Amino acid sequence: MSKTSKSGVPEYKKQLIRCCLVDLMLYLLMFN
User: Per residue in 1-32, pLDDT tens?
Assistant: 556 556 676 788 889 999 899 999 999 999 87
Other residues' Cβ atoms within 10 Å of the Cβ of residue 10: 14
Measured distance CA(12)–CA(30) in Å, rounded: 27
State the pTM of this model.
0.51
Q: What pLDDT score does 5 carry?
A: 54
